[in-house]
């Protein structure tokens, strides 16, 4: 069992094994009124890795994601992405970097009145400077890349299944050819087969496009199947960040309940049997 030495921030152990950091969060504090969500949180994400971010509901996973992409101004601390603290840049400089993020939000956030194709084309028109025709042409390619059939483009989000909506949101996140993909609970609400297909898609995209993936998830199968490292949010900071075997063996009540409970053991067993195939 791995024990946590709180005097020695475990987040710092990651540096030796990791590719050069593309995201560096240092001393992050986020507070809403008197409610402190993050307190001196540190986290680095290596270029090209799939980092899984887990933690109990309300531990601040989505707030952390929003802080990194610049939608949530931190109370204190710094966030560097691509070696830059984006909050120090002018709006136009900042948007050049922000274009390199693709975000799939926890609540989907597709425009319900637009077709799927129009949803994906929108960022290409607004930020990519394309004409409508060019944007729709490229949007159709992104939909195919995300595993949607061509006819899905003409439908509105309400006409699609939950899994297809996730794929459409992924296509929109990929519209501007991002370097970093942020996914907030992408497989929530999908059946296990749909979820594992989505996992494979994320892995394929990372391998084919060299993306870095910041993946917030509760899905243990996803953690075992595709994540290079797992960061556990607890007690307002990153309690541990390491490979899954190290995390699962960490001496912490929440981690033990989560990874060694029936679902955690089943996911671990399934991952082991897949490796043997």
Ligand X SMILES: Nc1ncnc2c1ncn2[C@@H]1O[C@H](COP(=O)(O)OP(=O)(O)OP(=O)(O)O)[C@@H](O)[C@H]1O
Per rule CB under 6 A, is residue 59 in the interface with ligand X? yes
Considering only residues 103 through 142, tell me which ones interact with Mg ion, judged by CB under 5 A: 106
When CB distances are held under 5 to 8 angstroms depending on the partner's kind, the choice from Mg ion, ligand X, none that residue 212 binds is none
Q: Which helix (H) or strand (E) holds 247?
A: helix 244-248
When CB distances to Mg ion are compared, the closest residue is 62
CB within 8 Å of 233: residues ≥ 6 apart: 41, 53, 54, 55, 59, 60, 61, 64, 239
Per rule CB under 6 A, is residue 51 in the interface with ligand X? no
Q: Which stretch binds Mg ion (CB under 5 A): 3-11, 62-70, 153-161, 237-245?
A: 62-70
Q: What are phi and psi of 136, to 5 degrees?
A: -70, -35
Which of residues 84 and 106 has its CB atom nearest to ligand X in the complex?
106
Question: Whole-angstrom Cα distance, residue 207 to residue 45?
Answer: 17
Per rule CB under 6 A, is residue 55 in the interface with ligand X? yes
Question: Whole-angstrom Cα distance, residue 113 to residue 124?
Answer: 18
Considering only residues 105 through 164, tell me which ones interact with ligand X, judged by CB under 6 A: 106
Contact with Mg ion (CB under 5 A) among 14, 62, 146, 268: 62
Tell me the DSSP string of 75-113: SEEEEEETTEEGGGS-HHHHHHHHTTEEEE-TT----TT
Residues found near Mg ion in the complex (CB under 5 A): 61-62, 106
Residues found near ligand X in the complex (CB under 6 A): 32, 37, 55, 57-63, 106
């Amino acid at each position: 069992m791995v024990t946590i030495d709180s005097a020695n921030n475990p987040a710092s152990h990651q540096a030796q094994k990791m590719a050069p950091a593309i995201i560096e969060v240092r001393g992050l504090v986020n507070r809403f009124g008197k409610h402190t969500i993050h307190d001196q949180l540190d986290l680095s994400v290596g270029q090209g890795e799939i980092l899984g971010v887990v933690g109990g509901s309300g531990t601040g996973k989505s707030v952390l994601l929003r802080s990194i992409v610049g939608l949530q101004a931190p109370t204190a601390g710094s966030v560097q992405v691509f070696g830059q603290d984006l909050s120090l840049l002018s709006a136009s400089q900042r948007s050049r970097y922000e274009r390199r993020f693709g975000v799939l939000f926890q609540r989907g956030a597709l425009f319900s009145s637009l077709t799927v194709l129009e949803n994906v084309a929108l960022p290409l028109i607004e930020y990519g400077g394309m004409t409508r025709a060019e944007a729709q042409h490229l949007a159709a390619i992104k939909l195919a890349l995300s595993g949607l059939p061509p006819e899905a483009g003409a439908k509105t989000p309400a006409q699609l299944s939950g899994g297809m909506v996730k794929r459409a949101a992924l296509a929109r996140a990929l519209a501007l050819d991002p370097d970093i993909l942020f996914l907030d609970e992408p497989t929530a609400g999908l059946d296990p087969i749909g979820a594992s297909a989505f996992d494979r898609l994320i892995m394929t995209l990372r391998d084919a496009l060299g993306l870095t993936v910041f993946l917030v998830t509760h899905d243990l199968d996803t953690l075992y199947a595709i994540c290079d490292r797992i960061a556990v949010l607890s007690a307002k900071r990153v309690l541990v960040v390491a490979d899954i075997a190290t995390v699962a063996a960490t001496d912490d009540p929440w981690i033990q309940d989560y990874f060694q409970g029936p679902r955690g053991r089943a996911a671990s067993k399934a991952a082991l049997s897949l490796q043997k195939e």
